[in-house]
């Protein structure tokens, strides 16, 4: 549901009383264009921040607690401020907020009693990074006027995710939420933690299609993939002792020694190494305005996730196969962690209407589910908005 700042402030006042005027913060979700599961292998990723975002309204309070209401879940929790440093996860939405609060306390940022209202328009389980949007919006809100370097805010959000929520994810989602820019994709180097903005062709629409399925396998498979990549690195070190992560291996080097790597880690490594290379390739194609090449890279990336990384599923493969047959669609691929969520599609502007209606009819006919479509204009990163 699209949110407007005035509505959130109104909700905040209804919920917590009309005392002081809350401050309002926004942090976007993201859609990754290419470079999937490459971030924790210290390679490149290429996301854009979305208009769809999480909003956090915040005002000081006198009850000694951090009190948080989620509009989306319709539930509230509170914790005494002096207990935040020792807080434990409970396995629900509140972990994203509390994880960030705990990391701030542990980073030496004292928190004072306050009320927070969290409202997000980033669909959960969609691969569009709803969790990073909550984390980063919460971090900005709790920091208020206190300054922390933007990169440190992204890293703090990632720590909340890996050490509190318990998913050993890379830096992409929080980075994109902090550093998003209107009109541009962000080419992130996940080793040096630096980025370049890349403007995208104007005669191209980025359409995300939500399959509305999320197979449970997701978080355990994520852990497995992280471990398999480490196994691949260990096997590669037999031939190239200087290699520290899959980022250090070129495709040519890999092809010389791949026979020496056990079959499963070999396939995982092939995906990571090739998808990292596809990031600068996609950026170059975007700069050269080569839409056909951009589309080819999308499809190659999808095949790599489908067969080598094995993180796709029937619903997503169906959406990709159908999409790339529609005239005016340059390419399609799954985006995000995998096992459901969204595809991302490069579509000519005048083909968008047919794209939506054909894909909707086909997907409903096959799976009985009406997919959701999001027109993804690259948007700005997190900020205070009121
Ligand atoms: C999830 C993680 C990211 C990244 C993607 C896959 O979104 O949070 O760090 O690994 O999966 O590219």
Report pLDDT digits (tens) over 363-382.
999 999 999 999 999 999 99
The predicted model gives 285-294 an average pLDDT of 98
| Residue % of the chain over a pLDDT of 70 | 99
Which among 39, 115, 173, 308 is annotated as catalytic? 173
* Band of residue 319 on the pLDDT scale cut at 50, 70, 90: very high
Q: What is the pLDDT of residues 8-65, one digit of tens each?
A: 999 999 999 867 799 999 999 999 999 999 999 999 999 999 999 999 999 999 999 9
Cα 150 to ligand 1 centre (Å): 19
Q: Is 354 left (phi over 0), alpha (psi -120 to 50) or beta?
A: alpha
Structure tokens at 150: 């933007």
Q: Residue 51: what are its φ and ψ, rounded to 5°?
A: -65, -35
Q: What is the pLDDT of residues 160-218, one digit of tens each?
A: 999 999 999 999 999 999 999 999 999 999 999 999 999 999 999 999 999 999 997 76
Q: What is the pLDDT of residues 94-119, one digit of tens each?
A: 999 999 999 999 999 999 999 999 99
- Mean of per-residue pLDDT scores for the chain: 96
Residue 3: Cβ within 10 Å count: 17
Q: CA 196: distance to chain centroid?
A: 18
173: annotated active-site residue: yes
Q: Does residue 73 surpass a pLDDT of 80?
A: yes
Query: Ligand 1 pocket test: which of 32, 35, 39 has the largest number of ligand atoms within 8 Å of its C-beta?
Result: 39
pTM over 0.85: yes
Give the ligand 1 atom nearest the CA of 171. 9
> Measured between alpha carbons, how far is 9 from 22 in angstroms, rounded to an integer?
7
> Measured between alpha carbons, how far is 67 from 357 in angstroms, rounded to an integer?
44
Q: Residue 123: what are its φ and ψ, rounded to 5°?
A: -65, 135
Please tell me the predicted confidence (pLDDT) of residue 2.
Answer: 67
> Measured between alpha carbons, how far is 331 from 300 in angstroms, rounded to an integer?
9
Please tell me the predicted confidence (pLDDT) of residue 216.
Answer: 78
Please tell me the predicted confidence (pLDDT) of residue 1.
Answer: 53
Q: What is the pLDDT of residues 243-257, one digit of tens each?
A: 999 999 999 999 999
């Amino acid at each position: 549901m699209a949110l407007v700042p005035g509505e959130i402030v109104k909700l905040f006042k209804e919920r917590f009383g009309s005392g002081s005027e809350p401050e309002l913060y926004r942090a976007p979700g993201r859609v990754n264009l290419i470079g999937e599961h490459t971030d924790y292998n210290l390679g490149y990723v290429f996301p854009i921040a979305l208009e769809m975002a999480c909003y956090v309204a915040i005002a000081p309070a006198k009850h000694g607690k951090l009190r948080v209401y989620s509009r989306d879940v319709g539930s509230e929790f509170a914790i005494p401020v002096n207990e935040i440093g020792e807080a434990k996860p409970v396995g629900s939405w509140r972990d994203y907020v509390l994880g960030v609060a705990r990391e701030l306390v542990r980073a030496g940022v004292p928190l004072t009693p306050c009320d927070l209202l969290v409202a997000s328009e980033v669909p959960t389980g969609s691969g569009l990074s709803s969790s990073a949007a909550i984390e980063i919006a919460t971090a900005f809100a709790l920091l208020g006027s206190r300054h922390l370097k933007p990169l440190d805010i992204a890293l703090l959000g990632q720590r909340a995710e890996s050490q509190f929520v318990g998913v050993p994810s890379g830096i992409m989602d929080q980075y994109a939420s902090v550093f998003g820019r209107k009109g541009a994709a962000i080419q992130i180097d996940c080793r040096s933690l630096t980025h370049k903005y890349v403007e995208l062709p104007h005669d191209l629409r980025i359409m995300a299609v939500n399959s509305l399925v999320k197979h449970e396998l997701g978080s355990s498979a994520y852990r497995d993939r992280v471990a398999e990549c480490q196994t691949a690195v260990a096997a590669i070190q037999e031939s190239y002792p200087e290699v520290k992560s899959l980022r250090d291996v070129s495709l040519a080097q890999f092809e010389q020694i791949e026979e020496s790597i056990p079959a499963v880690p070999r396939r995982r490594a092939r995906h990571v190494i090739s998808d990292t290379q596809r990031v600068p390739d996609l950026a170059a194609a975007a700069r050269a305005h080569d839409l056909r090449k951009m589309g080819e890279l999308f499809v190659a990336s999808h095949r790599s996730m489908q067969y080598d990384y094995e993180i796709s599923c029937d619903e997503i493969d169906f959406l990709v196969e159908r999409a790339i047959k529609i005239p005016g669609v340059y390419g399609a691929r799954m985006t995000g962690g995998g096992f459901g969520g969204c595809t991302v599609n490069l579509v000519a502007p005048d083909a968008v209407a047919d794209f939506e209606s054909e894909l909707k009819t086909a997907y409903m006919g096959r799976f009985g589910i009406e997919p959701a479509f999001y027109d993804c204009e690259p948007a700005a990163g997190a900020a205070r908005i009121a």
